[in-house]
Amino acid sequence: SRRLAGKTILITGASSGIGRSCALEFARTAPQDLRLVLTARREDRLKELAQQIRDEVGEGVKVLPVALDVSDPEQVKGFVERLPEEWRGVDVLVNNAGLVRGVARAPEIAEEDINVMFNTNVTGLIHMTQAILPIFKARPNGGAGDIINIGSIAGREPYAGGSIYCATKAAVRAFTDALRKELIDTRIRVMEIDPGQVETEFSIVRYYGDKAKADAVYAGVDPLTPDDIAEVVVFVAGRPQNVVVADTLIFPSHQAGAGVLYRKP
Site for ligand 8X3, residues 176 to 205, rule: CB under 6 A? 197
Determine, following the binding rule CB under 6 A, whether residue 121 of this chain makes contact with ligand 8X3. no
Task: Return the number of the residue (30 or 94) whose C-beta is nearest ligand NDP.
Answer: 94
What x/- string results for residues 15 through 34 when contact with ligand NDP is judged by CB under 6 A?
Answer: xxxxx---------------
Amino acid sitting at position 12: T
Of the candidates 219, 223, 165, which has an alpha carbon nearest to the alpha carbon of residue 198? 223
3-state class of 247 per DSSP? Answer: strand
Concerning whether 169 is annotated as a catalytic residue, the answer is yes
Residue with the shortest CB distance to ligand 8X3: 152
The C-alpha atoms of residue 167 and residue 40 are separated, in whole angstroms, by 23
70 is a site residue for ligand NDP (CB under 6 A): yes
Name the binder of 254 from ligand 8X3, ligand NDP, none, CB < 5-8 A by kind: none
Give whichever of 13 and 145 is closer to ligand NDP, judged by the CB atom: 13
Residue 167 touching ligand 8X3 (CB under 6 A): no
Nearest CB to ligand 8X3, comparing residues 99 and 144: 99
Q: Is residue 69 involved in binding ligand NDP (CB under 6 A)?
A: yes
> Using an 8 Å Cβ cutoff, are 183 and 146 in contact?
no
- Check binding of 12 to ligand NDP (CB under 6 A): yes
- DSSP for 135-199 reads HHHTSSTT-EEEEEEE--GGGTS--TT-HHHHHHHHHHHHHHHHHHHHTTTSEEEEEEEEE--B-
β-strands 61-67, 34-40: how paired? parallel
Out of 137, 169, 211, 262, the active site residue is: 169
Using a 10 angstrom Cβ sphere, with 0-12 exposed, 13-18 middle and 19 or more buried, the burial of residue 234 is buried
Residues 104-143 as x/- pattern, contact with ligand NDP by CB under 6 A: ----------------x---x-------------------
Phi, psi of 183 (to 5 degrees): -100, 20
List active site positions.
Answer: 165, 169
